[in-house]
Amino acid sequence: MENTSIWKNNTFMRLFSSYSVSMLCRWFDMVAVMILFSYVWEADPFIIALIPVAFALPHALFSQFFGILADRFNKVKLMLVADVSTAILTLFLFMAPNPWIALPIIMLRATLTVIHYPAQQALIKNIVEEKLIVKAVTLNGSVDQLSKIIGPFLGGALASAFSPELCILFNAVAYALSAFIMISVLKKGKIDIQSNLEGESSDTSFWQSWREGWSTVFKSRILLVSITFSLLSFIVIQMVDAQIAVLLREIAPSRPELVGWLMGAAGAGAFVILLIMNRFNKIQTYGLFLGGSALCIGIGFGGMGFLYAGVPNYIPISLGFVAGLGVGLFSFGINLVLQKESTNENIGRVSGIFSSLTSLMVLVAPLVGGILVRVISVTVVYQFIGLSLFAIGITGIIFRKALWRESSKKDSTNSVAKTL
């Protein structure tokens, strides 16, 4: 009998538990690393600037290639090996004596975790029924956003009360626990999760599989438009996302706590919208959600460009919440597209391509944003970015039928089917 609830899918719930544990402690780890480099080792600002590069560069370089592995091999085994290896490397990071030893460990560890996103996407495609895909996507998105709220808060508190090394040790334990959960999924063995490349000959080369992944993206109008639209929005967002502290420093120099409150409000907004999306079973109007994402973030970022000295706290917090709604819509929309518009045979590659491109944006866009802020001013840049995102969002919503070729009939009959 088919499962009528995502909570009754035992394999998915184990996968979800593993993801939840590792995501929460990953944020412990990120906060701890920043504190360790900045306060304990008192590293040079250039060295500190290399930390996000060490986290993001492996994803930019290897995600699309690891996506091929996710399509070719047993996904649970791949994630299990990655979790065990990451736990060991995190222990080495715990014992690292200085930044020059820690940075290569962080980069190597990030390389091993690259497999998680394409493998997890492929697993969901394999183990979750079509009618429950929306539920699976929103649950993963919800725990991701909650982790961004709870993780830094708890991580910062633990690092201050005890030591940043303790948070890193917690992350090692979390990855070990995640590995044990993966072992339980592997032992369950009731579902075929070995290889999805049934349609390809056994002697298909690695590079041919890579080309076929890109071919899938270019041949599917919905995938191509969705990924292009998302990347356009994403690069604009990343240009100023890291500059929020600079903006708040200018308008509220005596209220540094606003940075944390704003981040928390954005996470809360994303979590709320994902809870709302979880009420639906079927969604076809991708343009409405991806366009709405850019629109909400544009309102939030653009509004921040008009903040003034002495502004009441509730105004930037409200703008952060609105931007968070957009972040939640973005996370939900693009992951749903990847799940619905790919096949069991190529979802690992398609997800890896998207992850690789977004990670590349994370490396490039903040540098461009930093230059713009220095040349112009942070408020003008936020106003311009907000207006740009607003225009992108409106374009996506108004022209969604032309861009995504969504028919009026589909919009009226199939776009949103609520849970009964």
Residue located via tokens 């990670």: 359
Residues β-bridged to residue 280: 418
Q: How far apart are CA 62 and CA 304, in angstroms?
A: 35
Residues β-bridged to residue 417: 282
pLDDT tens digit sequence for 72-93: 888 888 989 999 999 999 999 9
- Averaged pLDDT score across all residues of the chain: 82
| Residue range(s) of every CATH 1.20.1250.20 domain in the chain | 1-190, 215-406
Tell me which architecture the domain covering 215-406 has in CATH: Up-down Bundle (1.20)
Q: How far apart are CA 300 and CA 263, in angstroms?
A: 12
> How many other C-beta atoms can be found within 10 angstroms of the C-beta atom of residue 255?
14
| Tokens standing for residue 330 | 């973005």
Q: Is the pTM of this model over 0.85?
A: no
Contact 289, 229 (CB under 8 A): no
**Angle at the Cα of 36 from the Cα atoms of 34 and 38, rounded to 5 degrees:** 65
Tell me which architecture the domain covering 1-190 has in CATH: Up-down Bundle (1.20)
Q: How far apart are CA 16 and CA 143, in angstroms?
A: 9
Q: How far apart are CA 283 and CA 321, in angstroms?
A: 24
pLDDT tens digit sequence for 169-227: 888 988 999 899 888 888 765 554 554 444 444 456 778 888 888 998 999 999 999 99
Q: Which of 146-160, 175-189, 339-353 has the lowest mean pLDDT?
A: 146-160
Q: What are phi and psi of 200, to 5 degrees?
A: -105, 150
